[in-house]
Amino acid sequence: MRIHLFKCLLIVGALLLGASGHTTAQRNYSVKLIATVSPPHSPFLHSYSYSSALTLHLILNGVTSYSGYLRIKLESMDGRGIVIQTRANYLPLLDLGPSQTMNGSDLADYFDVNNLDFQGYSRQQYLKTKRIPDGIYKLSFSFVDRYRPAVSVSNVDILSEKTLRVFALQPPILNFPLMMSQTNRSNQSLKPIPISWTRPANTPFNPEYELVLNELRPNCQNQYSDLNTNNQAASRISQGEIFNCLGPEIFRASTTSLTYNYGMQAEPALGLGKWYAIRIQARDPQGRTLFINDGVSQIRVFRYGKPCPIPIRLKATALNPYQVQLDWDALPDHTGYTVHFKREGDAYKWYTQRALSNRTQINDMEPGVSYSFKLTANCNAFGSEETATVDFRMPTPKPTGVQCGKPLVVDLSNQTPISNLRVGDKIMAADFEFTLVEVKPLGGGWFAGRAYTHIKFFQGARVFARFDRIKINTDKRLIDGELTTTGAGTQIIPDEWRDQYLSFTGEINNLFDEIERGLDKIDQAMGKIDQVLKKVEQWVKNYNGPDKAELLETIQIGKKAIEDGKKDWKDGKLTEAAKKLKDGSGKVLGAAAKMVKNTLEKLLRDLKDLLKEALDALRGRSKAEKEKLAAQKKEDWLAYQKLRAEVVIEDQGFRIKVNGTDSTLAPSGQTTGTEVNNDLFPETTHVAISQTKKAKAFDEKVNTLLVVYQKFDFEKLRFDQILVYINDPGKFGTLLEKVKKSMESLGEELLEDLSQNKLKLVKAKIETEVNKIIDDLVKEIYEKESKK
């Protein structure tokens, strides 16, 4: 019994002694290692050599210095037998002080493939894949004595051994644009291209993304011209083939967002109908290599807009020595055209003229001169390439045969009057050819109207003529009546203007006609004359013409005759009274007519400059409005994107429909993801997401954004039209004529402003008329384009 008890005591003592010895050994290790490995844990060994990848603290225990070697070991813990450790002959000596810290950068050589032994996964496999297999690994650090390399003098515990969950992060996945898709189908200006991608799964940090856009090489542009998302050939295109098609880099940008709207900033403009490749690269902000394929996504190829076809069969036809007509074939995608033309000998000075249809006419050409013509088409906001140049020589007018003093012989044997004349017809008066611009049949073969001719021996100067009663034979030659010229160039004061501004002239003349027939209207005539005299005296008071003194004298003479006529009327001398009243009012009306003529002539001489001022003012306001709308559009677009993202988050269990179709509920377990048409705006005009709380707000935001886009497009078209009028002499002249005509309706109101020197008010009225003309034209163009 005692023997057994003694044996038990010996065993227990031995166990206690062993335990005590072990504890002592644990407490007395020379080097204490404390390792920290920052997630994520990369399968790429070199990624542990970044300074932030890991930290190793080496603390001496009981000594102040120690020399030895550091060893690392990485082994799989899932039974695959993979062991990667420091090579036995890799012995960089470390002289430790009491405490020191090493980071990944300091330990870079320990993770160099050349300094590691591989088991269960060969060096060749690693060099081929550049990574270790995904899985659970244990990374151990140990320190051995300099003179006893087989003896570890460091702790072996959770401080020096770290469990790593090793996996590589997948690159981002591009959502939009779709492969071989077409963006901006309607060729609208400033329409952003929405680009979006999915964040790499299981990423424990916020990656940085770099977007890279390349244009495809020309041979690939042609190769892919007939492909689209529904084409089977598109699905067979490999990433390698696309990579070989990459041409020049167009754009590169960095962001932390998952979306990018190309075209909202100052990005380079894309070529219409061209193919582009886009890819996204995810990067660790700390610079570590954590992603497969270096974080580069698959490449997506898309086409920007539709090519704007070049017009075909441009042809020039002379209408006369001074006008040319251009015709060409219209194509379905064309929304307008720009004609470019220049005179022979002008190397660089090209003029332009806009056209809405496939025919246009250019006036004021020089006879016998060669011109070059070319054409570009507009496809909404974008233009085509230029057509080939067409050269054309204007015909030379027939010789005038002008010989001063030589009698003119004209064959007028044909006395059969023509029954019908139209605007644009040519008639001969003596040896002058006139073009009719107004024509009114009077009956019996007689006509009234206006026409113009070119004086060939004055370099084709245009002269207008008026005819009140002429007769033309079937050869279209004048056989009776006369044409009265109104001066070379455009007639400055049309007759109808004089009637418009001096409407009371006709009233007074009619009264005197009735007086001559019965004298019963003389009292009414005197009342009207008093009104006119008061008005004319006010006009002449504010009149600043050089003939003011002469006009004042004429008015005073007329006024004296009117007063004498009134006295005769009181004395019963009715015939003498009527004569004096008529003579006096005639002098007053004559002075008034001269003031009107001079005032309007001055206005129309200055109208060109006033019109330029009005256009400059309108351009400034239009530019400011356009910039304001652009800023609002950008702000609303960002709000739209934000609200759309919120709608998607709220509607994760539902499916979004477009074009007014209600959303359908789908169990969240069966829904692989919320389907969102990323190209929703502005081509899709309505969205209904009936299952989300913010759907109504989202729908309202879409409508708001559509209105802003429409306003912006309208204002841009308006701004462009103003620039056309400013830069194109032909268009400016056309606008000048329209302004002159539109001002006729202002009548005496305009004359009152002019007579009182209210120049600012006149400018404002001119600007109003110009604004109305431009707005009417832009509305017509905009409505026409909207119907296409």
| Span 107-125, average pLDDT | 91
Separation of alpha carbons 44 and 166, rounded Å = 9
Identify the H or E element spanning 216: strand 208-216
Instruction: Confirm if 221 and 274 have CB atoms less than 8 A apart.
Output: yes
Nearest CA to 588 out of 533, 506, 531 is that of 533
The two three-digit tokens of residue 752, written as one number: 């009152």
- Taking the model in full, what pTM does it have? 0.40
Query: What is the average pLDDT across 766-778?
Result: 77
Both tokens of 124, joined, read 């060749």
Where is pLDDT greater, at 702 or 31?
A: 31
Query: Mean pLDDT, to the nearest integer, of 542-563?
Result: 79
Q: Which residues contact 445 (CB under 8 A, 6 or more apart)?
A: 417, 418, 419, 471, 472
Which of 376-385, 464-473, 499-508 is predicted with the least confidence, judged by mean pLDDT?
499-508
Digit-coded pLDDT (tens) for 305-336 = 777 888 989 999 998 888 899 999 888 878 88
- What interhelical angle do 759-786 and 695-727 show, nearest 10? 120
Say which residue, 41 or 24, is predicted with more confidence: 41
CA separation (Å) from 107 to 49, 284, 523, 635? 6, 20, 120, 50
- Residue 198, phi then psi, degrees to nearest 5: -100, 140
Tokens of 273: 């109908």
What percentage of the chain exceeds 90 in pLDDT? 16
Question: Exposed/middle/buried for 694, CB within 10 Å: 0-12, 13-18, 19+?
Answer: middle
Residue type for position 713: D
Q: What's the pLDDT at 231? A: 65
CA angle 141, 142, 145 (to 5 degrees): 155
pLDDT at 85 over 70: yes
Residue-wise pLDDT tens digits, 67-78:
999 999 999 888
Q: Do the beta carbons of residue 40 and residue 290 sit within 8 Å? A: yes
Residue 131 has pLDDT above 80, yes or no: yes
Average per-residue pLDDT for the chain: 75
Q: What is the mean pLDDT of residues 644-653?
A: 62
CB atoms within 10 A of CB 320: 16
The answer, yes or no, to whether residue 367 has pLDDT greater than 80, is: yes
Q: What is the pLDDT of residues 237-255, one digit of tens each?
A: 778 888 888 888 889 989 8
Q: What are the chain's domains? A: 30-164 (2.60.40), 173-304 (2.60.40.10), 312-393 (2.60.40.10), 426-491 (no CATH), 499-608 (no CATH), 609-786 (no CATH)
pLDDT band, residue 285 (cuts 50/70/90): confident
At 748 the pLDDT is: 60
DSSP string computed for 547-590: THHHHHHHHHHHHHHHHHHHHHHHTT-HHHHHHHHHHHHHHHHH
What DSSP element (H or E) covers 706? helix 695-727
Contact by Cβ (8 Å): 461, 454: yes
Tokens, residue 689: 């997401």
Cβ density class 556-593: b for 16+ within 10 Å, e for less: eebbebbebbbebbeeeeeeebbbbbbebbbbbbebbb
Q: How confident is the model at residue 497 (pLDDT cuts 50, 70, 90)?
A: very low
Residue with token string 């940008």: 253
